[in-house]
Amino acid sequence: MVKRGKPPFLECSSIGDKNFSAFYARPHSLNGASIEEAYQAMKIFANGQTGLSWREAKGKKAENQVECATAYEQWWREWVDQMQLMQVLRNAPGLSDRFGQEGHVCQADVLWKIRGGNSF
């Protein structure tokens, strides 16, 4: 579990507010794909594999991890703007992702950064 800020935490996953779940967030630029689907599909692995489903790619380290993380943040910024969610983020004293793992790309981390939260 990843927590940023202080309680009460806004849960940023499919268990919490679905507006902040990478499985439900679908920015216009992704043409119907969710952030999770696009993020996992863009990963390129050491053997050259790419375009995998989220189930096939999730948890595996990509060769293009920096590019993937950059796109992930960009898509979240687009989604927050598209859905006018910034005030919801700013009203939350903390964000959490019960499925997040330290050292991995996580929506709680990215949304905390977008929100303008202090470093974690």
Kindly report, residue by residue over 47-76, the tens digit of the pLDDT.
999 999 999 998 888 999 999 999 999 999
Q: Give the Cβ contact number of residue 117 at 10 Å.
A: 19
Predicted pLDDT at 31: 97
Which residue(s) pair with 95 in the sheet? 4, 10
Kindly report, residue by residue over 70-104, the tens digit of the pLDDT.
999 999 999 999 999 999 999 999 999 999 998 88
pTM, two decimals, is: 0.92
Of the two residues 54 and 117, the one the predictor is more confident about is 54
Nearest to 77 by CA among 41, 118, 110: 110
Distance CA 18, CA 11 (A): 9
- Stated as kind and residue range, the H or E segment containing 3 is strand 2-5
* Averaged confidence pLDDT in the chain: 94
